[in-house]
Amino acid sequence: MRYINYNGNIHQEHEQLLSVTNRGFKYGDSFFETMAMFNKKIPLLDYHWSRIEFTAEVLSAHLPKRFHLESFQNMLLDLASVNDAVENARVRLQFFRKGGGLYLPDEKELGYTFSMNKLTNDKFEAGDGLKVGVRQDCWKTVSMISDIKSNNALMYVLAAQYAREEGWDECILLNDSESISEAIHSNVFLVKGEKLITPHLDSGCVNGVMRAYLIPMLDEENFEEREVELKELLEADEILLTNAVRGIQWVREFEGKTYGNKRAVELTALLNKELLQTD
Distance CA 80, CA 82 (A): 6
Contact 259, 131 (CB under 8 A): no
What integer pLDDT is reported at residue 15 of this predicted model? 92
What integer pLDDT is reported at residue 278 of this predicted model? 75
Q: Give me the percent of the chain exceeding a pLDDT of 90.
A: 95
pLDDT digits (tens, 9 = 90+) for 97-109: 999 999 999 999 9
Return the CATH number of 3-118, one of 3.30.460.10, 3.30.470.10, 3.30.2130.30, 3.60.40.10: 3.30.470.10
pLDDT digits (tens, 9 = 90+) for 76-91: 999 999 999 999 999 9
Residue 96's pLDDT band (cuts 50, 70, 90): very high
pLDDT digits (tens, 9 = 90+) for 257-270: 999 999 999 999 99
What does DSSP say about strands 89-97 and 9-12: parallel, antiparallel, or unpaired? unpaired
Distance CA 6, CA 10 (A): 6
**Coil, helix or strand at residue 76:** helix
What integer pLDDT is reported at residue 1 of this predicted model? 80
Is 70 exceeded by the pLDDT of residue 279? no
Q: Kindly list the distances between the CA atom of residue 17 and the CA atoms of 8, 11, 99, in Å, as whole numbers in the listed order.
A: 13, 9, 15
Going by C-beta distance under 8 Å and a sequence separation of 6 or more, which residues neighbour residue 37?
Answer: 76, 80, 87, 88, 89, 90, 91, 116, 119
Contact 178, 227 (CB under 8 A): no
What integer pLDDT is reported at residue 71 of this predicted model? 95
Residue 138's pLDDT band (cuts 50, 70, 90): confident
Residue 7's pLDDT band (cuts 50, 70, 90): very high
Write the Ramachandran bin of 36: left for phi over 0, alpha for psi from -120 to 50, otherwise beta.
beta
Is 90 exceeded by the pLDDT of residue 273? yes
What integer pLDDT is reported at residue 217 of this predicted model? 92
**Over residues 8-20, mean pLDDT:** 93
What integer pLDDT is reported at residue 226 of this predicted model? 97
What integer pLDDT is reported at residue 211 of this predicted model? 98
pLDDT digits (tens, 9 = 90+) for 156-187: 999 999 999 999 999 999 999 999 999 999 99
Spans of all domains in the chain = 3-118, 130-276
Residue in 117, 44, 125 with CA at minimum distance from that of residue 87 = 117
Is 80 exceeded by the pLDDT of residue 66? yes
**pTM score, whole prediction:** 0.95
Distance CA 215, CA 210 (A): 9
130-276 CATH: 3.20.10.10
